[in-house]
Amino acid sequence: MSTPAEQLAQLNKQYQDAIRRSAERTGGYYSGEDQEYIDSLVEGASTGVYSAQDVFAELDRLYSERPESNDSGQSAAEASYMAQQRTDAFSRMKALLSRFGLQDLENAVKTIITSGTVDLQDPDAIVFSLRGESAYKKRFAANAARAKAGLPELDPASYIALEEQYRQLLASNGLPNNFYNDQTDFEKWIEGDVSPAELQQRIQEGYRAVADADPQVRAQMKELYDVNEGDLAAYFLDPERTKPLLTTKERVRQAQASSIAARGLEQGGMQLTKEEAEDLASRGITAEQAAQNFGEMKSLSGLYQQMTGEEELSRQQQIGATFRYDTSALEALKQRQRSRVAAFEGGGQFARTSGATSGTIETGAGTAQ
């Protein structure tokens, strides 16, 4: 005599054929997630996860509540086949929509697939039928401008491939990460039918413009602000796009400070700090003025060097005296010069032989013969 468990297993087994027939019949009216649910019921009954009797009852309920009558004359097997085709097409389209960033259109795709108006084996045809959807138009916005300009619209795969080529070119050429980093950033290029080759040429032109710029200023932009050639090339490539990067008030100040620092190193042999260069820029000092004043500072370098018994002048005071905005430091420097001249004329301790040329005396206030 069989046990209750064995009797239940035998009863479940008797239901299997009936379940398959019922699933084929019911599946002819459902697709997408509903069809997946039906498939999961059949699988659950075959593995013992669900009671076969409960599954059969659930399939009967689904059949009784089917959304529409099957008046096509299809057999249950044919209806099941078509349902599977719809399920497969929807799975393929979900993957494509994810790639295109159009997950919001899944319901629209489901409607198109169940309508029977497109070839389920042709994903491009399904995508084409989405062209009127607002989400599609937004994602591929450049196509509208291309059409107005008489240019052919790009299919989604070609559109996205072009975006990716743009992105790779910018990265491989060392352009800043925040220069172009969003799909909408590429719309103008796609609208204008800019090829990857043309973009590469534009990038090279940007780098050529950087190469032609003052090398000392470029070096100071790197030294003071860590702005590299890629940042500068991005500016030459698209000044409007790089306003947050290079042409805001702060960046203009940085460019001015870098120019001053370049002249300080070049004419005076002094590497300014960022704070020193920016302070001079804030005082309205131009690069031309910086070149002249630092040149004078270098010619009087001995005067700026402290000798025994003299009051020390800090670096900030020396710069302030050179550019004549620190009046007390300027007066102290003049006093130092007067003292040295007087000591020299009197044969005092400040006078010393330079050793450069016989009879040449270095006073620290300039060279006297």
Mean pLDDT (whole number) for 298-304: 82
The pLDDT assigned to 369 comes to: 29
pTM across the whole model: 0.46
Query: Please, which residues have CB within 8 angstroms of residue 258's CB and are 6 or more apart in sequence?
Result: 217, 220, 221, 224, 225, 277
Phi and psi, residue 262, nearest 5°: -65, -45
Phi and psi, residue 150, nearest 5°: 80, 15
Select from 339, 341, 303, 342 the least CA-distant residue to 321.
303
Q: DSSP character for 308?
A: T
Map tokens 């659950």 to a residue: 44
The pLDDT assigned to 361 comes to: 33
Q: DSSP character for 152?
A: P
Q: What is the C-alpha separation between 330 and 176, in angstroms, rounded?
A: 44
Q: What is the C-alpha separation between 122 and 42, in angstroms, rounded?
A: 29
CB atoms under 10 Å from CB of 306, counted, come to 11
Q: Using an 8 Å Cβ cutoff, are 366 and 358 in contact?
A: no
The pLDDT assigned to 171 comes to: 87
pLDDT of 186 higher than 70: yes
What CA–CA distances, in Å, run from 97 to 88, 250, 299?
14, 42, 71
Q: What is the C-alpha separation between 108 and 151, in angstroms, rounded?
A: 28
Tokens of 29: 């009216």
Q: Give SS3 for 359.
A: coil
The pLDDT assigned to 292 comes to: 92
Q: What is the C-alpha separation between 260 and 286, in angstroms, rounded?
A: 7
pLDDT of 358 higher than 50: no
pLDDT of 363 higher than 60: no
pLDDT of 6 higher than 70: no
Across the strands, what pairs with 353? 361
Q: What angle do CA 169, 172, 176 make, to 5 degrees?
A: 90
Where residue 77 falls among pLDDT bands split at 50, 70, 90? Answer: low
Where residue 216 falls among pLDDT bands split at 50, 70, 90? Answer: confident
Mean pLDDT (whole number) for 162-174: 88
What CA–CA distances, in Å, run from 159 to 139, 190, 322?
10, 8, 60
The pLDDT assigned to 362 comes to: 40
Mean pLDDT score across all residues of the chain? 75
